[in-house]
Amino acid sequence: MQNFSQSPTDPHFVQDPYPFYDKVRAAGDFIWWDDYNMACAISHKTVHAVLRDRRMGRECPSELAPAIPEHLKPFFNVEAHSMLELEPPRHTRLRALVLRAFTSRTIAALAPDITALCHDLIDKFPDAPFDLLTAYAQPVPVVIISRLLGVPEDRADDLVRWSNAMVAMYQARRTPQIEAAAIAATNDFVAFMRGYIAKRRKTPTDDLISTLIAAEEDGERLSEDELITTCILLLNAGHEATVHTLGNGTKTLLETGVTAITEAAVEEIIRFDPPLHMFTRWVYEDVAIGDHTFKRGDQIACLLAAANRDPIAYPAPNTFDPTRKDPQNTSFGGGIHFCVGAPLARLELRIALEVLFARCSNLRLEGQPHYGDVYHFHGLEQLMVSTK
Ligand code: HEM
């Protein structure tokens, strides 16, 4: 396996990581990324295979579980109940409960609500140039996931603040300030959820939190801590990635002049410039993949965005082609952790972009947008546009 070094906070890389992916893909299915001290799956075939291989998973092997420093415990105590960090049987139980509420019928029924919300937000667009992220890309997924869970929309600003602070724990550039902010946000978020769940226990409605409480009370072994973490995971995962796919996608559409928003165009947006570039897996038993062998306790990073630009899977992969067909991109992951919210994200993206381009025929970029220094996330700091 060939070694490569590339700082994930290097400004050129942050703005455009794709040339690095193209360079290292030529070295084979796996590379060793020195800065992460980790093997990385690069090709579409290998990323696809690793994500689905049950000899690997998200949960850290128990003998390798790192000692959590006292000051970070509040954050990791919440993480400890997250389905994204667990394997069966706990993962199966938690995911099944959520999937019960995320049926295709429930998601499809949100369409009129999403459409109306998009129109309301566009009605408020100012005449002068403005940031489309805060005016549109952020409120659409935040309001919809809040409504789905049943969290009051007037807490949306708090949710965004808490979520941003917590998610920052996973970026390459992590400082004591980032950690302190994440802990404060975790404590506030947990306290809010605990209070809110107590309220919903007394007066249940038809929202997701009430459904999960009912599952807990039916003795389905969903503890209150699991309930809190699941709600936090859904609120965080339910908007962060969608906000940035909407931002990155609008930028691409404006740069390429594509305005017809078909399902294929939405899929191409998700392939071309996704918001999450890396997900890791722990190896549970000795395995051989291609020419490489891994042993229990190794970690493999799946470079989702690199797999999406593999020329073996996608002809002319660096071209944005809204008519492109198979194979499915890897932006939503794969295997048992495949994104629970993918149908909701796809629906939000299609409606939000359709309404935006139908209503704002003169939409254009105001200046060159910049990506935030937050790898392995890949999203814009702001997206200045004008509509006149
Ligand atoms: C374009 C938007 C989105 C992208 C690109 C995205 C991407 C991902 C990825 C890459 C994973 C991890 C898969 C893996 O490790 O194999 C994931 C998991 C997850 N996502 Fe999403 N996501 C998006 C939107 C959403 C939304 C809207 C929700 C909730 C409403 C959501 C909820 C989740 C949850 C709960 C998991 C954990 C699933 C599990 O561990 O079984 N995501 N997502």
pLDDT digits over 223-278, tens only?
889 988 998 899 888 888 999 999 999 999 999 999 999 999 999 999 999 999 99
Q: Under 8 Å CB-to-CB from 52, ≥6 apart: which residues?
A: 334, 335
User: Over the stretch 314-358, which tens digit does the pLDDT of each residue have?
Assistant: 999 999 999 999 899 999 999 999 999 999 999 999 999 999 999
- The two tokens of residue 77 are 């105590």
How far is ligand 1, taken at its centre, from the CA of residue 239, in Å?
A: 10
Q: Which of 23-37, 115-129, 173-187, 317-331 has the lowest mean pLDDT?
A: 173-187
Is pLDDT of 219 > 70? Answer: no
pLDDT at 153 over 70: yes
CA distance 95 to 97: 5
Q: What is the pLDDT of residue 346?
A: 97
Give the pLDDT confidence score for residue 174 in this predicted structure: 81
pLDDT at residue 301 tops 70:
yes
pLDDT of amino acid 224: 85
CB neighbourhood size of 26 (10 A): 9
- Helix residue ranges per DSSP H, the chain: 11-15, 18-25, 44-52, 73-79, 90-101, 104-108, 111-123, 132, 139-149, 156-167, 176-202, 208-217, 224-256, 263-272, 304-307, 342-359
Ligand 1 pocket: which of 100, 302, 339 to mutate (most atoms <8 Å of CB)? 339
Give, using CA atoms, the residue closest to atom 11 of ligand 1: 339
The first and second tokens of residue 347, run together, are 């629906």
- Segment 174-183, tens digit of pLDDT: 889 999 999 9
Atom of ligand 1 nearest to the CA of 102: 30
Residues 6+ apart with CB under 8 A from 260: 322
Q: How many other CB atoms are there within 10 angstroms of residue 72's CB atom?
A: 16
* pLDDT value, residue 9: 94
Task: Determine the Cα angle at 38 with ends 37 and 40, to 5°.
Answer: 140
Residue closest via CA to ligand 1's atom 37 equals 84
- Say if residue 313's pLDDT is above 70: yes
By percentage, how much of the chain surpasses pLDDT 70?
Answer: 98
By most ligand atoms within 8 Å of CB, the mutation choice from 59, 332, 378 for ligand 1 is: 332
Residues with CB under 6 A from ligand 1: 51, 83-84, 95, 145, 233-234, 237-238, 241-242, 245, 274-276, 279, 331-335, 337-341, 344-345
